[in-house]
Amino acid sequence: MHMYQEGSRLVIAEGRSQVWIEPWGENSLRVRMTALPVMDANDWALTETPKETDAAVSFETVDVTDPWYRSEEWAKYHQTGTQATLVNGKITAKVSHEGWISFYNQKGQLLTEEYWRTRDRINRYCVPLRVTGRELKPLQGTEEFALTARFEAFDDEKIFGMGQYQEKHLNKKGAVLELAHRNSQASVPFLVSSRGYGFLWNNPAVGTVAFGTNKTEWHAACTKKLDYFITAGDTPAEIEEQYSAVTGRTPMMPEYGLGYWQCKLRYRTQEELLAVAREHKRRGLPMDAIVIDFFHWTRQGDFKFEPRDWPDPEAMVKELKEMGIETVVSVWPTVDERSENFGEMNEKGYLVSADRGNQNHMTWMGNTVFYDATHPGAQKFVWEKCRENYYKKGIRCFWLDEAEPEYGPYDFDNYRYYAGPALQCSNVYPVGYAKGFYEGLKAEGEQDILSLVRCAWAGSQKYAVLTWSGDIHSSFRSMREQLQAGLNMGMAGIPWWTSDIGGFLGGDISDKSFQELLVRWFQWGAFCPVFRMHGERSPWHEREQEFINGVRQLTSGQDNEVWSFGEENYKILSSYLFVRERLRPYIRACMKAASETGAPVMRPLFFDFPEDSLCWEVEDCYMFGPDLLVAPVMEEGARTRRIYLPAGLRWKDAYTGKRYDGGQTVEVDAPLEIIPVLMREGCDYVIY
């Protein structure tokens, strides 16, 4: 093993393999390893040019003689080795004479280190397990490897971020996570550790990570290199800022993103959609956006309105604009074999291919194939169709659904992209999907860009992505899971996030239990980055099957407007439309901070109060911006709420006006019409 300096880079060379450790922005390092002659050039999520820093590399000669040789004849067996150190601001990488890497902060405190169980003659720690901290195992007959990277586990460590997973725990310590996208699951492999560092697994390959009590282990099934980014900071805010500086920051949220979005599965016709918007305005209710959901087209992959049900989109968009409402249109990446675009896209290689079996990826409402969002030509082709058929009719905001993509089944080993085998790069799909629309809109001169996307990966935020949590169930359990999903998406660097208010699947609008769930979820939605109603709302309307040009048409669920759930519930729901409006200036300021520093809009308590150890334990409430502590009611029948208040300041209940000292747990009233919100003392927002 040989270590040397190459510019500001520290290189560890051994046989065919090389490890590069180099400064990558403020207080940050990038680590790469290959066993190929040339390092793979993909930067993946690290798309932004890192800020230059005054990093320094140094070497030290050390005694590596085995202890049992220290005798009278010691000199005969005396050996020395070289240790290396790379310092970049608040982070230091130390490499032992055997090539083991450890990371420290500016105080000399260990952040994390590789997990090795081999011979270490300096520390007299000798084990025969032969487990290494990093390994690239060749996949025979290819240029790819199965990759495993191991790090030591720490009992006191808490781990946050990693994207969106459907389970209850905010702290991911102890979790085993699939590094792959599915409907309602978004793998965004950036974490913030309670030990004072952030870590990006900069690899879109399908794999797993286990944050075990004995070790942390990352695995990629098929890849060409190891690649990760690590950053040290005194606060979570500093860590997020440094991470977003190298992966890109979200732009400023468009003004219509600050208000209320109306949506259901699905408005079937132009007149039905306009009737809902007109009724909202007749009642004096605010609405900023209304969504035209899927199957407003004749065939998947046509990327245009069905003219029978949507006869005059230009007039529709114009009327909505005059009411102050933005039109949002669903786009799916599925292309039906009967679509007018299928032949051309297939001939040009714009569709995802299969290594075996037939080409169909999904057989719902037609035999369909996903377009290849990693292909620059396919990105441009789809945008040009949407430009012609939607943008030219006045539509500026797109709902990019099925962005995982939602294979049926998820046989990742069978699919192949322009960028490579799906096993190697599948997780970058939603980035390319959003990028095509972002760059297309930019080229048209648009400044206020937003795309609602059902998935994300690291770096998606720079393409104006609003991620939502997919087709989730209508239950209090699911609502509780969405809270941690939204908070962990924020900590993973995706500040624009929302969920389907009331859940997507299984909500019967006449059921009293569902109505209570909807009220509680709607209240919480008013304090999420984007406030958006959606759901299929059982039971579906019973209609005879409809066909247009031989293509079956999709029916619709029950009504999903604020007046659809009874008069008493309407009073509560409509009141929160005005709560959101009163908070508009505050939310705008939070969005500005997100675009400037990468700060999540909704975030765990520890983000703002890292010195309060109890804030790292709280998983059932959060900060909405720097001033508002929000405690959603997530149990049926609950009318009070226990809340921990961060220490060091006083808090005011936005509903009762009562004041509390921080550093204690209090129980506050939470009648059905109220979501508990506590304000920092000195803030005087009018909420209720």
Catalogue the active-site residues.
401, 404, 471
What is the phi/psi pair of residue 94, to 5°? -115, 135
Question: Distance between CA 431 and CA 186 in Å, rounded?
Answer: 12
Question: 34 in helix, strand or coil?
Answer: strand
The residues near 594 (Cβ < 8 Å, ≥ 6 apart) are 249, 250, 253, 495, 496, 600, 601
SS (H, E, C) 56-85: EEEEEEEECCCHHHCCCCHHHHCCEEEEEE
Structure tokens that stand for 668 in this block = 């506050």
Return the biggest CA–CA distance within the chain.
98
Contact predicate 454/404, CB 8 Å: yes
Residue type, 10: L
Question: Distance between CA 53 and CA 538 in Å, rounded?
Answer: 57
Structure tokens that stand for 464 in this block = 């104006």
The CA-based dihedral angle spanning residues 113, 117, 120, 126, taken in that order and rounded to the nearest 10 degrees: 140
Question: 528 in helix, strand or coil?
Answer: coil
- Beta strands 451-453 and 397-400: pairing type? parallel
Going by C-alpha positions, the residue among 35, 42, 37 that lies closest to residue 145 is 35
- Within 10 Å of residue 361's Cβ, how many Cβ atoms? 24
Structure tokens that stand for 557 in this block = 């669920």
For the purposes of burial, counting CB atoms within 10 Å of the CB of 154, is it exposed (0-12), middle (13-18) or buried (19 or more)? middle
What is the phi/psi pair of residue 211, to 5°? -95, 70
The residues near 320 (Cβ < 8 Å, ≥ 6 apart) are 274, 277, 290, 326, 327
Structure tokens that stand for 313 in this block = 């989109």
Question: Distance between CA 96 and CA 245 in Å, rounded?
Answer: 30
Question: Distance between CA 14 and CA 35 in Å, rounded?
Answer: 9
Question: Distance between CA 258 and CA 411 in Å, rounded?
Answer: 38
Question: Distance between CA 113 and CA 199 in Å, rounded?
Answer: 12
Distance from the Cα of residue 192 to its chain's centroid:
14
Please work out, in degrees rounded to the nearest 5, the angle formed at the alpha carbon of residue 298 by the alpha carbons of 295 and 299: 85
